[in-house]
Structure 1
Amino acid sequence: MTMSPSLPDNDRPPPARFAFDRWTWKEIAHLLANLPMGIAGFVYTVFLIGVGAGLSITVVGLPLLALGLQGARGFGRAERLRARALLGVRIEEPSPMPRGLGNGGFFSWLWSGLKDPVGWRTLLYSFMRLPWGVVTFAVTMVSLFVLWPVLPFIARGLTNADRAMARALLSPSDELERRIAELESDRGVVVDTAAADLRRIERDLHDGAQARLVALAMGLGLAKEKLTDDPEAAARMVEEAHGEVKVALQELRDLARGIHPAVLTDRGLDAALSAIASRCTVPVTVSVQLSGRPAEAIEGIAYFTVSELLQNVSKHSRARSASVDVWRSGDRLLLRVQDDGTGGARLDGGTGMSGLAERLGAVDGLFVLDSPEGGPTTVTAELPWRDRTATTAKHVEPA
């Protein structure tokens, strides 16, 4: 559970003593307010559960329960504010529920609302508060008239139980909230990366193959016009057009290879990474120790990660040699790319390292860069291993 962070000294209750300072009066006010708040929360919880369960056989029961759980979040927010003001306990707010129906429609919203852990924990808190509120109200009232000298100690003991209860049930779950925040961030990274890739493909098509094909069409049109009057010139134009066709096909093949290379689909990481290494400007040793093949998406991310790292080796490292190692450890796919260059690479150094780290993070992966000045540079990446579920159809390039 998320524990409350330390408070400033002027907000932290001092040790209890035989005196009625402002914190003692705050704690007494909190204990006296427990009863009305407990009654309100208990009535809300019992009514919601009773009506929601009773009407669950109709079309309104479950939506009513989902809306009631969202309303419980509001009660929890009020209790966190009360704990902050009167007990000096700062409890972080949980992640909000998604607004609207979203892409999944009504049933997606309904399911998300019914399994909301924050709402259910708040209902449990509200249900427990009534008997506790009766106890704290009665003890505090009796102490005000009978046990006045030791009331500060009684108030501190009772409110410490309140503090523990609020932290346990009103705090967001560390792991759940962390994963929600990560997934929200990763979703933005995936969207931005996909948009950037689409822009790159569009630019490559527009500036490369598309422009070449337009020129080819114009050349063939001119050759057609000269076919009768000047057959030799027309033949030269057709020959030039044939050469342009070959270049355009090669550009399209290179573009397709950048999207998803056929060698990766057909033969897996070992052959695909060896092909990348053969195009690197420094000698690269490739070692792939895998007994099977991961899912297509994971395999593709691994391929493009190594591809970009080897491009950095060629452009920036001044290395004499490099190595690529790939292996599986448990449910993780591990990659290591190392070179004996000058080092000094950084995640914010403009070499695409930060983009790689974000892409791996978007699929629950890790990216570790070790590049001291003077070298060597070692990049270790981890990806989740997911088994391949279906055989990918083989791709055959045009001759």
Structure 2
Amino acid sequence: MATEYGQGYGDGHGFDSGLSVAGERRHRLPAGLRAPFEGRTWRAFGYVLLSLPISIVLFTYAVTMVALGAGLLVTFLGVPVLAAGLAGCRGFGAMERVRARSLLGVEVADPEPLRMRKSGVLAWVGAVLKSGTSWRSLLYAVLQFPWSVFSFVIALNFWAYGWAALTYPLWFWVFPVYAGQDGLQLYGDGTHNIYLNNPFEITVTALVGLLFTLATPWIVRALTTVDQVMVQGLLGPTRLSARVVELESDRGVVVDTAAADLRRIERDLHDGAQARLVALAMDLGLAKEKLTEDPEAAARMVGEAHGEVKTALQELRDLARGIHPAVLTDRGLDAALSSVASRCTVPVQVEVDLPARPAPAIEGIAYFTVSELLQNISKHSRATWAAVDVWRVENRLMVQVVDDGVGGADSSGGSGLGGLAERLDAVDGILVVDSPAGGPTRVTAELPWRAVG
């Protein structure tokens, strides 16, 4: 494990404290009062305003191209026209993902690309027509138009009427000066006319405007929530494609991990047991030559070779234990974790509460996770005690390692904990690190429960 504990966290902790104090000062104003002035609100409002002209263009393009392509299907031209229309919708979808990312802060991954087994125009047309992304982009173009009209009308009216009523005390004089009436007309017919012109009515109007102004940001955000759902659901990757990408990435991690393990085993064999056995063979050869000339020297060399054999055997046992310990296969996690805990430099309390043994692959990952974490504690934590708990929750195997060391462990970057998190992710596992500066450190691993057989 290469993770360093307690390095460089003093200044960082102070910096975080300063940020939190500054944040408290900056946010002393309640969220409801500062919402109309926040950049997030204005970006959402800008998104709603832009949605109307964009949706008009997109809807017109989509309907025109689809109608033209469908009408020309009786000829060969209808197929490429329809494909061109779908491709244009995909292009609009890419623009909409960028707009949602810039104005709404929504990170939407790009959908799966076109899968073309051959090159050429016909292959491209077939790939576009077969792609689910193309048809979802067309559906987005159709659905966004009525929704953008609705959200534009609601947002603009609430915003305009809210600010107009709120600032009415500042500009109500415009009506008697330029319109020849006492104020803003609330009601009027041939007999009666009601104007907002006395101090009480002006004050009530401003208060109503204040309510509208304070409510408008939340209404706009609620409207853009629907836009987020449509962008993520129709313009992003499907769950199946995202899962395929995740599995492909996990497969790469597994392959890299296996290759690294093989290189480690080869290095340990070459630098350890193999080198020792080569030296042992040379020593035995020299002892054989001296056997008749100097029996005492030969016996002494044989005795030294016997010690080398014991050392080589111990190295091979350690190497075999690193590949897969026999105690894990024979007696399970409880005995195996107790064995690895006994080699830790600090006292370790081990508690395993499992109703049955998990699958060998999951059991092995849990064992090596605890082994690496305890090795990390021995090297870096400066702890005085540690504890290992293993239990099952529904269909998940939970592993938790706690120590009272200096803390500061970080799973980001290229640390050992980061590599461990990647290994767990390859089997749909999760690694959670809670290690504030000063300790204690609590690392929780969650693995899928798979029964034996």
Equivalent of 2:111 in 94, 108, 114: 94
- 1:80 corresponds in structure 2 to 90
Q: What is the letter of the counterpart of residue 96 of structure 1?
A: P
Decide whether aligned partners of structure 1 residues 337 and 206 sit closer, same or farther in structure 2, where only a CA change above 3 A counts.
Answer: same
Q: In 2 relative to 1, CA 100–334 (structure 1 residues): closer, same or farther, beyond 3 Å?
A: farther
Give the drift of 1:218: 1.0
| Aligned counterpart, 1:366 | 430
Map 1:56-135 → 2, pairs under 5 A = 76-82=86-92, 93-96=110-113, 119-120=131-132, 122=134
Residues 309, 31 of structure 1: CA spacing in aligned structure 2 closer, same or farther, 3 A cutoff? Answer: closer
Counterpart residue number, 2:65: 37
Report the Cα offset of residue 194 of structure 1.
Answer: 1.9
User: Structure 1 vs Structure 2: percent identity of aligned residues?
Assistant: 57
Asked if 2 retains the 8 angstrom alpha-carbon contact of 1:41 and 1:126, the reply is no
Aligned residue for 2:432, secondary structure, equals strand
Q: Deviation at 1:262?
A: 0.6
Q: Could you tell me which residue of structure 2 aligns to residue 379 of structure 1?
A: 443
The DSSP-based 3-state class of the residue aligned with 1:234 is helix
- Residue 62 (structure 1) aligns with: none
Compare CA radii of gyration and give the structure with the larger one: 2
The answer on whether the counterparts of 1:363 and 1:383 sit within 8 Å (CA) in structure 2 is yes
TM-score, length-scaled by structure 1: 0.66
Q: Larger helix proportion, structure 1 or 2? A: 2
Task: Measure the CA separation in 1 of the matches of 2:452 and 2:298.
Answer: 53
Conservation of the 8 A alpha-carbon contact between 1:186 and 1:361: yes
CA–CA separation in structure 2 for the residues paired with 1:73 and 1:332: 46
Per the alignment, residue 307 of structure 1 pairs with: 371
1:189 counterpart = 2:245: no
What's the counterpart of residue 14 of structure 1?
49
**Aligned mates of 2:389, 2:243 — CA distance in 1:** 30
Supply the distance in 2 between the matched residues of 1:194 and 1:285 (Cα, whole angstroms): 31
Q: Report Cα offsets for 1:60-113 as digits up to 9, x if no partner.
A: xxxxxxxx9xxx998644312246679997686312367769xxxxxxxxxxx9
The equivalences for 1:181-330 within 5 A come to 181-330=245-394
* Alpha-carbon displacement from aligned partner over 1:292-345 (angstroms, at most 9, x marks no partner): 111111111100110111112212222221111000001100011111222222
Q: What letter matches 2:339 in structure 1?
A: A
Q: Which residues of structure 1 form unaligned runs of 5+?
A: 1-5, 17-22, 49-67, 102-112, 137-151, 158-162, 390-399
Q: Which structure is richer in relative contact order (CA contacts within 8 A, separation 6 or more)?
A: 2
Residue 274 of structure 2 aligns to a residue in which SS?
Answer: helix
Distance 2:62 2:402 in 1: 62
Instruction: Give the CA RMSD over aligned residues.
Output: 4.6
Give the Å deviation of 1:228.
Answer: 2.7
Cα offset, 1:32, TM superposition: 4.7
- How many Å separate the matches in 2 of 1:362 and 1:42? 46
Residue aligned with 1:14, SS: helix
Contact 1:121–1:169 under 8 Å retained in 2: no
- Normalised to the residue count of structure 2, the TM-score between the two structures is 0.59
CA contact (8 A) 2:400 2:444 kept: yes
Deviations 1:204-247 (A, max 9, x none): 11110010111111112222222333333222222222221121
Do the aligned residues in 2 keep the contact of 1:293 with 1:388 (CA within 8 Å)? Answer: yes
Aligned residue pair count:
322
User: d(CA) in 1 for partners of 2:406 and 2:98?
Assistant: 54
